[in-house]
Amino acid sequence: MLNALARAASPAQLRALFPGAMACAVVAAAAGFLGQHYGAPVLLFALLLGLAMNFLAAEGPCGPGIAFCSRGLLRAGVALLGLRITAGQVLALGWGPLAMVLLCVALTIGLSMLAARAMGFQGLFGLLTGGATAICGASAALALSAALPAHPQKERATLFTVIGVSALSTLVMVAYPMLVRSLGLDARHAGIFLGATIHDVAQVVGAGYSVSSQAGDVATLVKLLRVAMLLPVIMLASAVTRVRLAAAEPGAQAGPRPPLLPGFALAFALIVAVNSTGFVPTSIQSLGSECSRWFLVAAIAGIGMKTELKQLATVGLRPVILMVGETAFLAALTLGLMRWMT
């Protein structure tokens, strides 16, 4: 991440990046306006608008800036997610919810990888969709995509995952509050369920506070626990990348190998550690969190611009079934574990 930013710092590079970066910024602003006025996920609007402007990446001067936003800003946005989390927030919930989140994330991702292989996909596609479902929706999909090895179908898989997880997150944001009321869960358990199952942070907040203020507070903290799981899962994705590269080139010991912990993941961990000290002002936390949000919106706009819509039309029904199954499994597992772990 730092290397990409350093390379972009020279005046010549800045001039080359400016048109594409401005295009991504305009799409991000439009997506923010639409999301604010229509209540749908901003990332989804950014993706759809980016897809409609694919011609900007295909020809003209915008290509370099769009490529930078889809990679450099993506990694910066993921790193700044660390300003949402502190060690104190994690400890305040106690061991029960923490153990439950660990189990849910591990089992959901593991089952997703097995299911992906059984359905004819690569296991890494299951890691991508399972990580998005189990951790923090579109943000996790983008972070994991940045850590996974290059592949001709990677961007299409990432786009599908972002679309699918955003749509499912919006759906369950409406459905799950009705479910917890029908099950008669108290405010604490309702918050735990909502925080442990809904994909995106914004939808967790919306669903939790639609039940009660206490449920909203608990849901937000549980969701932040899931966001904290992003770091070990990125390490898993990086380890898989290293193993695959070593298997592909067994004799290439002298060649460079990707680090076990990518730079943006290390930055994420350091920011969480600093944020946990209590010395980071609230204004800085809010500013960093807002920058993270807009960096991710601009990044997904850039990814959309780099992708042709006809590529998504060939996805088929099986990936949809996989993601719906992951969502249903996570909800059922959470309900089962809540009986004896919270």
With cut-offs at 50, 70 and 90, classify the pLDDT of residue 2: very low
Can you give the pLDDT at residue 81? Answer: 79
Taking a C-beta distance cutoff of 8 angstroms, is the pair 155, 303 a contact? yes
Higher pLDDT, 94 or 319: 319
- pTM value is 0.71
* Tokens 């903290």 found at: 221
pLDDT tens-place string over residues 123-162 = 889 999 999 999 988 888 888 888 887 777 787 888 888 8
With cut-offs at 50, 70 and 90, classify the pLDDT of residue 252: very low
Instruction: Give dist(CA 166, CA 133) in Å, integer.
Output: 10
Give the best-scoring range by mean pLDDT among 82-96, 108-122, 223-237, 254-268.
108-122
Instruction: Give dist(CA 1, CA 272) in Å, integer.
Output: 17
Can you give the pLDDT at residue 310? Answer: 63
23: which 2 tokens?
Answer: 């295009």
Q: 129-133 long-range contacts, Cβ below 8 Å, gap at least 24?
A: 129/161, 129/164, 129/165, 129/319, 129/322, 129/323, 129/326, 130/326, 131/233, 131/237, 132/161, 132/162, 132/165, 132/199, 133/108, 133/165, 133/168, 133/199, 133/323, 133/326, 133/327, 133/330
pLDDT tens-place string over residues 180-216 = 999 999 998 999 999 999 988 767 877 888 888 788 8
pLDDT tens-place string over residues 36-63 = 888 767 877 887 898 888 888 877 788 8
Higher pLDDT, 290 or 91: 290
Question: Is the pLDDT score of 312 beyond 70?
Answer: no
DSSP 212: -
Could you tell me the CA-to-CA distances from 71 to 146, 178, 298 in Å, in that order? 7, 38, 10
Domain extents in the chain = 2-247+258-308+318-341
> Terminal CA-to-CA distance of the chain, rounded, Å?
39
